Structures are given as structure tokens and as C-alpha cells.
Amino acid sequence: MARNNGQKCTSNVVLYLLPILTVLPSVVTQSRLENATDAKAWFERMNAELHALNREAAQYGWDLSTQHQSRVEFTLESLVQLAQRKSAWLQEACDEGALYRQQGWPYDRAYYLLCRGPRNTPEELSEMAQLFSYIQRIYTESEVCIPANCGQRGRPSATVLWANTFVQYPRLSVGHLDLSFVAPEPSQGLISAMAPTKLPKQMECFSGEPDLERLMLSDGMHRVCSGRLPPETVLRWAWESWRMAVGPPMRQPYGRLIELMNAGCMRGANHRDVGECWREELEIPELRLQVDRLWHEVKPFYEKLHAVVRHFVREKHPAEAASIDADGLIPAHLLGGMWSHSWTQYGRDIIPHPVDLDAAFGRANWTSMDLVRRAEDLYASLGLARMTDEFWKHSLIGKGVDGGKCHGTAANMYADGASDYRMIVCPRSEAAAQDFYVTVHEMGHIVYYMEAAKQPTIFSDGTTAAFQEALGDAIYLGAITPQHLVRLGLLDSKHMAPEKELAFGGADATLNTFDYAFLLRMALGKLPTIPFEYLMDQYRWDIFDASVDYGQDANSYFWFLLERQQGIRPPSSVAARVPLFDPAAVYHLSDNTPFVRYFLASFLSYQLYEGLCRSALFGTVTNPANEIPMPLHRCDLYGSKKAGKLLRKALALGSSVHWTDVLEKLTGEVDISAKSLLRYYQPLSEFLDRFIARHRLTVGWEH
């Protein structure tokens, strides 16, 4: 699953209710203690049962991702029944394993992976499934609607837009959405009673994904009041209306889910709360301290990027400039994306350059299949396996589901013979560069599944979820190098040549203006996600362990974190937003996805990329004297069998070893670090220093 760009690998609700490592076999006819003559027999039998039922669980996950909503209720009911049967089997398997452990045996890691995690009762699992289904449907099926032309002729006003906004909930009711409190003169209104009613005729309705998310990226602005409103008004409306629509209905059921998840974790792994369960999966002692360390390593670079973007936000939105201090917070709706995670629209303002990669991808006019074939070619050039016949037969490539909605998805179906792997990708021509990233990322999951398939089932996933997320991103860094862009026909080779004199300075004679524009584009797309990934889980961990009062402070604490660490603020005051539940506006909350895996992957991907670069150039990652002879972002991995051989050996270990062993094989290091990320962006960081000094910008923000 790739971060917060509308992508996922499988439903994390499925993974929570029925963990892939702890799936119930269809039939258990005899006591294990009667049949088990030694620990090896227990291990082999457990793996066979896991494989059979992992396949069943994977099919449920695929059905939930691909079926029309009318069939989801049936799938959920079957899933709950399977999850309820799982609990008894898991208890029995772990009890038996504990007896063997006392005698000493070689399966400690298998036992640990199998027996960690929550233990919810059948009744709790059933209630959780219903609650997760409810909040997911609120997120995926709710729509914000306005009358065509805003219900009037002539030039509409912001007040008219707010006054004519409705929310349509899935199979529930339709009610008027009172957004008066975010109008130019705020009042205290929130959401009116949701009495069943019919929408006015000729309505324009917007889903959260992809419709409002596209609006937040300034795509499709004409759909709101026929494009007769200022962009700032439309962006604020999209940002506010979505949070008003989905947050309040989710707040109470999510609170109940916290209670149920905490109960399972306390009962199962003897943890205090579900946050400890989530952190255990990553096998990092003192994970909270490690996460804080990584964030503070990269925060100075983020603050410089924030300062420069704030300068251009004030220039680009003069109507909002008076509300943005030179050392202040940036209004979240002006940055790009529903969660201010994509600042790329400001790249051409900061460093103008004639090459527009998004336009280049668009001009290439690649079909969905072209994108997938090019991603496959990238991995195959390293000596990694090509996709299987079953992949091409069952994947949904360029096909949306349930009315055209689509989340990037990678699935291991646990077929006999380890050949059934599937993908869902639905590229859009207007976002072809982002689609290329999604495709390479999702194929990275499948490549990891394929390379680890020879391991026993208990070890056939990535060494941690963070490594699963990092692999595709690392390969993408190799796929987006200037050299590979030339190879793909997306960049003229003249942009590889050094320039005699850069307009904005720069000491590295090997770089040109395109290098700086490219690095800026990458940073504007990647860096803003890091603090949000950091804060989303810090927020939930504090809610889970009750160090923050969910009932009173669920929203105000959330914005305290975002203002303090991310440097953004809501368009309206935080005090006015206290009754709301803004975290629900991101998909990963309704899908119960831990964000820390993405946070760690944001650092790991650069480390893995640099390690593969060293392997490609020198045949080893362990000699620190081997200096990479080019800027890191220009290290082309395409066709390197040395890098591919190293990668295959590391991926083939699956989760049979601790993640530090895998990291050491791929990088020569045993700690996750920001060093490679900062090395990748070093030329850009120096450019930002010069820009900040020239324009006398303030770095950081008052909070």
C-alpha cells in the first residue's frame, strides 16, 4: 500500500480480523498433541494449514477490493465466521508450540510471528467487522453535492456555495450540510439533522476519492459552480466539506473500535493497548524514540522546503497572503492534496524549467498495460522474475471497480505453486507520472512475494511491513533517474549535459538546471508526506493509550501536532473545529492502516537505493571507501545484474530473519537512517540555503 495517494495492497480490516500469519485451517480433525511426534512435525503441519487458509483469506480480501458494494455484506459475513474460527485454532497452536519451546527447538522465530498480536473474542470480532464496514462505507461511498451552477445564474459567492452544499451518505440518509461556520463570517453551526430527504435535481456530486482529492490538486475546478469561483474558495470548500461530511459520523464508532482493539491486544500479547501491538510488528525496540530521532534528522531540510513554499503560497494566493505571516503556518488547503501531502504545483514557480515531466508522461500516451509492462521490464532488467500468467489473467489493469473507483492494489493469493499474484491499477492520463510511481510501487510488493515464495508460509512475507513498502519506492528512485527517463523517451538527452553557468549558482559542475528542478519536484512530492506519516501514528498511539482524552481532545490534539510539527493549519480556527474529527478524512484511518510503516519506508527506500547503487557500481555495499562517482539521484540501476543478485538474495529470506539482517545485506548498515535521503537531496538543500538567504526568508514557524 502506498501511503495516502488512494492506494492500498489489501484491506487492512481483513488483515486485522484475519491476520495472514494466523489463519484458521478449514478442518482440524484430531488433536495436534496426538499426531505431533516432534517439533518439526508441528512446524510442517502449521505451515500447510497456514498456506491453505491464507489462500482463503486472500480471496476474501480480493473480493472486498473488487466486488460491487452489493456483495460486500456477504463477503464480510463469511470473513467474520472465518475470523471467529481462527481464534480457537491459534490458541491451540500456540499452546502446543509453547510446550516444544520449553524443550529447546529451532522454531522460535516462527512461534513469535505466529503467536504475537491481538486475541479478540468471537463477539468482539463480529462487532468490529460491522463497525469497520460502517466507517469504510462512510469514507468510500459518501458524496458531497451542490446544485449545478450553484443553483443560480450569474457569479455565485462563497456564501451561496456553502449554503447549497449537501452530503449524501451510503444507503443511510441525505441531509443538508451546514457549512456556515467556515463562511467568511463564521457562526457556530455544524451539521443539521440528517432526516431522510431527496437531493435537489441536477446535482453535481463529489466522492472523496478521486473527485475531491483531484480538486485539491487543482484538477477539475470547473465542476464547482462552472468554474466561476476563485480557486482559493473552491479549495477551501473541498477541504472543509469533506471533513464535515465524514468526520462526525465516524467519531463515535471509531471510539468503540479503539476499545475493542485495545481489549484484544491486552488479552493476547499482554500489551496495554493496540499501539503496542502495532509497534511490535516492526520489531524495533523503543520504536517511538527511533521515529522521533528520524523525524528530527530530516526536519531541518523539511523546514527549509516549507519556508520556500510558504513564500510562493503568499505570492500565488494574494487574497490569502494577509492571513499567512512570513514566519507562520501555511493554510492546509493551499498546499496540494487533501492532506497537504503534494506540493509539486509550486515547483515551476521555484525553479522554472521547460521540461514538465507530467506533460512528458502525458504526451507518451501510454496505456495502462504499457505502464505495467514498463514496470515489469524495470524489475526484469535486474534479473528478477517476470510476472506470471495468472498475474496477466486475473489483474485488473485500467479497470475501476464499483462505479469506477480504484485503489492501487497488490495481492498474493497463496495459490499452490506460488504463481497467482494480482494487481489493480487504474492509470489516468492527466496523472501519468503519479500512475507510473503507483505501478512500480505495487509491482514491488509482488516481486517481494515472488522472491520469498520458497520460504515456509510463516516466513513468506517481507521481513517487516516497512520493507514491503520500501522496495517499490527504492526501485522507483532508480526508474526516475534522468538516464532512465532518456531511455524511456521522456527526456531529451541534452538535459543530461552540465551547464557552464547556473542562473542560481551551485558548486557542482556536473549538474544542470534540470537536475535541480527534478530534485525539487521529487522533494515536493516526497518530503511533505513524512511529517504526516509521523504524526498520524503519534496521534493514534496517544489516543490508544489514553494519554489524550479521545472524547474531549480528539480533534484539538490532532491539530496541535500538525501545527507544531508539520507547520500547517486549518482554514478556520482550531477552536471551531474541536467538535469535528478531521483524522477520519484520510482513508488509512477507516482502513485501520498503521502509518509508521510508510514513515520508516520513506527513509529505507533511499538507503536501499543507495545500497543497490553501490552494488551495481562496485559489486559490494560494505566498502565505505567506494564513493559513488555521481550525484546519487543520477545512479541508474537499469540492467544491473549485480544489484539484482544482491536484491534477490535479500528478498528470498522473507521474514525468516530479523529486518536488521536484511538491511545489512542490502546496505552494510543495521540502523534505519536519514543519511541516504539527505545525501540524495544535498544539491537541492544547498540551493534552498541560497534561495532563503537571497530572499531573507524565515525558516520555521511560530506556534
Q: Each residue of 278-329: pLDDT tens digit? A: 999 999 999 999 999 999 999 999 999 999 999 999 999 998 888 899 889 9
Annotated binding site for Zn(2+): 441, 445, 469
Q: What is the mean pLDDT of residues 91-101?
A: 84
Alpha helices, H only, 174-324 = 213-216, 231-268, 274-281, 287-316, 318-321
HEC profile for 586-651?
CHHHHCCCCCHHHHHHHHHHHHHHHHHHHHHHHCCCCCCCCCCCCCHHHCCCCCCHHHHHHHHHHH
Residues 6+ apart with CB under 8 A from 339: 4, 332, 532, 585, 586
How large is the greatest C-alpha to C-alpha distance in the chain, in angstroms?
83
pLDDT of residue 351: 94
Closest-CA residue to 703 (of 303, 247, 292) = 303
Closest-CA residue to 306 (of 271, 353, 273, 343) = 343
Distances (CA, A) of 335 to 12, 185, 516, 635, 684: 28, 23, 21, 30, 20
Minimum mean pLDDT range among 7-11, 337-341, 499-503: 7-11
| Whether 496 contacts 482, CB under 8 Å | yes
Annotated binding site: 441, 445, 469, 597
Mean confidence (pLDDT) of the chain = 85
588 is catalytic: yes
Q: Which residue has the cell 510539527?
A: 565
pLDDT of residue 365: 86
Q: What is the mean pLDDT of residues 330-351?
A: 94
Spatial distance between the Cα atoms of 263 and 124, rounded to a whole number of angstroms = 9
Q: What is the pTM of this model?
A: 0.91
Minimum mean pLDDT range among 45-59, 226-240, 602-616, 636-650: 45-59
Annotated binding site for chloride: 597
702 is catalytic: no
Higher pLDDT, 524 or 221: 524
Beta-bridge partner residues of 167? 144, 175
Angle at 67 between CA 87 and CA 125, to 5 degrees: 20
- The most confident of the ranges 75-84, 114-123, 432-441, 682-691 is 682-691
Spatial distance between the Cα atoms of 609 and 666, rounded to a whole number of angstroms = 9
Q: Which of 232, 442, 533, 664 is catalytic?
A: 442
22 pLDDT tier (thresholds 50, 70, 90): very low
pLDDT of residue 682: 96
Question: Could you tell me if residue 116 is left (phi over 0), alpha (psi between -120 and 50 degrees) or otherwise beta?
Answer: beta
Which cell is 489 given? 523517451
* pLDDT exceeds 70 at position 186: no
- The most confident of the ranges 62-76, 291-305, 432-446, 573-587 is 291-305
Spatial distance between the Cα atoms of 521 and 91, rounded to a whole number of angstroms = 50
- What letter would DSSP give residue 7? B
Minimum mean pLDDT range among 186-190, 227-231, 285-289, 374-378: 186-190
pLDDT of residue 303: 98
pLDDT of residue 17: 66
pLDDT of residue 247: 92
* pLDDT exceeds 80 at position 185: no
* pLDDT exceeds 70 at position 169: yes
Question: Could you tell me if residue 36 is left (phi over 0), alpha (psi between -120 and 50 degrees) or otherwise beta?
Answer: beta
pLDDT of residue 192: 34
Q: Which of 588, 610, 633, 664 is catalytic?
A: 588
pLDDT of residue 648: 97
pLDDT of residue 71: 56
Q: Each residue of 194-214: pLDDT tens digit? A: 334 566 678 889 999 888 998
Dihedral of alpha carbons 244, 246, 248, 249, sign: positive
Q: Strand, coil or helix: what is 449?
A: helix
* pLDDT exceeds 50 at position 31: no
- The most confident of the ranges 39-53, 204-218, 379-393 is 379-393
C-alpha distance across the termini of the chain, in Å: 33
Spatial distance between the Cα atoms of 497 and 509, rounded to a whole number of angstroms = 10
Q: Each residue of 540-583: pLDDT tens digit? A: 999 999 999 998 889 999 999 999 999 999 998 887 788 899 99
pLDDT of residue 179: 38
Alpha helices, H only, 102-171 = 108-115, 122-141, 158-163
Beta strand residue intervals within 405-515, DSSP E: 409-412, 421-425
